[in-house]
Amino acid sequence: MAVRNIVKMGDEVLRKKCRPVDKIEKRLHVLLDDMADTMYAADGVGLAAPQVGILRRVVVIDVGDGLLELINPEIVGTEGEIVGVEGCLSIPGRRCTVKRPEKVTVRAKDRKGREFTVEGTGLLARALCHEIDHLDGVLYVDKMIEDVTEKYETGEEG
Ligand code: NI
């Protein structure tokens, strides 16, 4: 387990589309462990593999309810819309408002390759959307409504 360096905006790795994981292997488990360590060390609520320079569809999230590991996650349903404040570990010090679904349903695989579905509302829904966007090279600032950095000095980052 190790804390990896978090790639910052401006690095083109954050703008690439990630490839799906096709094999569950030791290297994937090391990546998941390192991503969790890196997220917790940075006080984040989520982290996507391209943020540690790996172009694979892998995400970790913990909004305070325990660690969620998602391999090849896909949004399969959304409900409602809500505007909220976001930050990103790859864009330190900034906060912007973004419109996201109020509720999302995501299908993914766990570290053993078993398919599961997770439903999220509130911060979890926001984190799921934010991290899955990272896998397609999309950053939350691409979708920002307003820059509110001066109003919110702290907050969740993914
Ligand atoms: Ni982010």
Read off the pLDDT of residues 122-131 as tens digits, 9 standing for 90 and up: 999 999 999 9
67, 38 contact by CB (below 8 A) = no
> 154: pLDDT confidence band, cut at 50, 70 and 90?
low
Q: Give the start-to-end residue ranges of the domains of the chain.
A: 12-154
* C-alpha of residue 112 to centroid of ligand 1, in Å: 25
What torsion do the CA atoms of 151, 154, 156, 158 make, to the nearest 10 degrees?
100
* C-alpha of residue 129 to centroid of ligand 1, in Å: 10
36, 64 contact by CB (below 8 A) = no
Q: Which fold has domain 12-154?
A: Peptide Deformylase (3.90.45)
Q: In a 3-state reduction of DSSP, which class is residue 47?
A: strand
In the DSSP assignment, the letter for residue 19 is B
Whether residue 150 is predicted with pLDDT greater than 90 in this model: the reply is no
* C-alpha of residue 157 to centroid of ligand 1, in Å: 7
83 sits in which H/E element: strand 82-88
Q: What is the mean pLDDT of residues 80-98?
A: 95
Mean pLDDT (the chain, rounded): 96
Backbone dihedral region of 19: left (phi > 0), alpha (psi from -120 to 50 degrees) or beta?
beta
Entry pTM: 0.95
> Could you list the active site residues?
131
Whether residue 152 is predicted with pLDDT greater than 90 in this model: the reply is no
Whether residue 1 is predicted with pLDDT greater than 80 in this model: the reply is no
Backbone angles phi, psi at 26, to 5 degrees: -50, -40
